[in-house]
Structure 1
């Protein structure tokens, strides 16, 4: 898009611009997070909207049907979780007694092996409870957070409808602000970014369904009560990279302990976690999600850390597709191509174990480039 050669001053200007963008994302996070979520969802539902429009349905009605489809999907997952959670609520008293016993055993273990007496532990916990503020203040904070989530959820739905309905208008605006002669390149960037987001999000959704099946089979074999609930929970938490799978498995282990599970059951849960993670890393992600987001591991972690700092949990969920869009921009803009190369990975580099696994299915992979 640009023809000037990179220079030190230009690189400094680019880095300064990136700093301003990151600062704006941090201070405007309450405004930008719903827009970012709705934008990615709009890219996901765009093929469905086009299909409906091809059947003679107006764009406004097609956009509304996309929103309704999203709500139906969310309601279905919520109904499945609540159905399974109903069995857990019936045993809450028993689970509470078990947790109290586990806490007492933990206190005794700390007192015996670390040397902190039970009285000291109780005193420390009471100080922590008192420093946490009043019950009314805590309840108010929780209510405020719930209201914020509800408002953001409504905004996401409204933005989703408007982004799909007004997509042609928004695209024309982008093309109008692009310099003369660069509209074709800008149109290619928009199309590539949309396709990348569609493939990544749809692939992630399909992978989560597969993880539900794998976790459900593994937890059922291990003898976990309400195995389907924890399988669905672990699968949903996979949308949070690196952290989600540990959170889901930790909650499952904690619930197994509270339900009186033995060592074999805990070992079964951990074995299931390890097997599923192996299958996810080397089979599901490469074959289902694919390599649409071609980011190297270093910048994947850096991006996740940065987005968690500026946007919290939503940042962790949005980080990977958004850095993928940034890479597409860098690859199409000449002064930014070195940055696209920096955050990307070698196109022909394929993990050795994936090469072996893919060969079992009759696939072919390109050989790795030597360093």
Structure 2
């Protein structure tokens, strides 16, 4: 059987157009996707409130307050520890100056570039303060506008969820409407399960990192435990980043090699527990994507949407797989993305 070259070119062109559209509409789609996924997290709570004879508007408003409370608690946890860390700014500044001086001396001794020349090079490479302030203001404005949009989407997607569901069902033929209902139910379910599972795992990581760092005597151990746990939202990269920051700050504080090695060992032990116990038990049943396409999804997510793309890559790919599994022409793609089934394990569970 031969595959038509024209057919392959058409498919590649469609893919290119899809990814181009995702890239150029990221300012619109990122808040919408995050708001939608958070809405699915609060969906069971909203349904429960409505069953208690509360009106839809009041139920949605309570969910909105719950989301704000959750965000406030997370910011408070980090903010409290950041305020403690700020007390050590003088020490960190002094250590940083010493480190910079050592680097300058190394460059002078090995590359024969004087300190004055180094300053001139840095001055030419660095943007002006006006440009830095402008960039900072632009970033803050963009973040605040995206955050407000996210909250607006969260509220209205929860409020109009039945209306949107009815619209999607009306789009399909009558013979396929039952299948569409199953797709909608499974897509919302996988989003809920993923977020709940991720929340449970982050909490357990807080506990494990907190115990490990406290036993070692790491300064601001709870802060770094919370940071390492929260960065788990960014798969693969987040936990490494959190541990690297912990090691760097500990080194700047003058930690010895035993303490730095202990931090790395704690990281390794936690990763073993996470990879072999927590992920299969908590996240495994919800996100059935093989490792290859997990990495591909993360890389594409970063290229198209940056850090938000990395965060959204896994749940969106899991949703896409569910859609593929329920549409006949797309089932091969769902099979490709999914995990390899172990026939022995499958037979065991059937028994």
Aligned match of 1:67:
64
1:243 pairs with 2:249:
no
Q: Which range is displaced more, 280-289 or 32-41? A: 280-289
Aligned match of 2:188:
194
Aligned residues, how many? 346
1:159 pairs with 2:153:
yes
Aligned match of 1:353:
none
Aligned match of 1:275:
269
Q: How far has the Cα of 1:186 moved from its partner?
A: 1.0
Aligned match of 1:359:
none
Aligned match of 2:248:
254
Kindly indicate whether the alpha-carbon contact (under 8 Å) linking 1:349 and 1:367 is maintained by their aligned counterparts in 2: yes
TM-score using structure 2 length: 0.92
Q: How far has the Cα of 1:126 moved from its partner?
A: 4.0
1:104 pairs with 2:98:
no
Kindly indicate whether the alpha-carbon contact (under 8 Å) linking 2:22 and 2:29 is maintained by their aligned counterparts in 1: yes
Q: In the aligned structure 1, how far is the partner of 2:17 from the partner of 2:52?
A: 45
Which string of whole-angstrom CA distances, capped at 9 and with x for unpartnered residues, describes residues 86-144 of structure 1? Answer: 221112111110122223334445666xx324527x63564344333210111110111
Q: In the aligned structure 1, how far is the partner of 2:90 from the partner of 2:132?
A: 24
Are residues 367 and 274 of structure 1, via their aligned partners in 2, closer, same or farther at CA, if it must alter by over 3 Å? farther
TM-score using structure 1 length: 0.88
1:264 pairs with 2:274:
no
Kindly indicate whether the alpha-carbon contact (under 8 Å) linking 1:108 and 1:118 is maintained by their aligned counterparts in 2: no
**Root mean square deviation of aligned Cα:** 2.1
Structure 1: gaps of 5 or more residues:
1-5, 351-364
Which string of whole-angstrom CA distances, capped at 9 and with x for unpartnered residues, describes residues 24-78 of structure 1? Answer: 1000001110001011111111011111111111111111111111111111111
Q: How far has the Cα of 1:345 moved from its partner?
A: 1.4
Q: In the aligned structure 1, how far is the partner of 2:255 from the partner of 2:137?
A: 35
Aligned match of 1:16:
13
Aligned match of 1:361:
none
Aligned match of 2:111:
116
- Give the number of the structure whose residues are more often helix, by fraction: 2
Q: How far has the Cα of 1:19 moved from its partner?
A: 2.6
1:29 pairs with 2:29:
no
Q: Which range is displaced more, 100-109 or 312-321? A: 100-109
Aligned match of 1:358:
none
Q: Map of 1:270-309 to 2, 5 A cutoff? A: 270-309=264-303
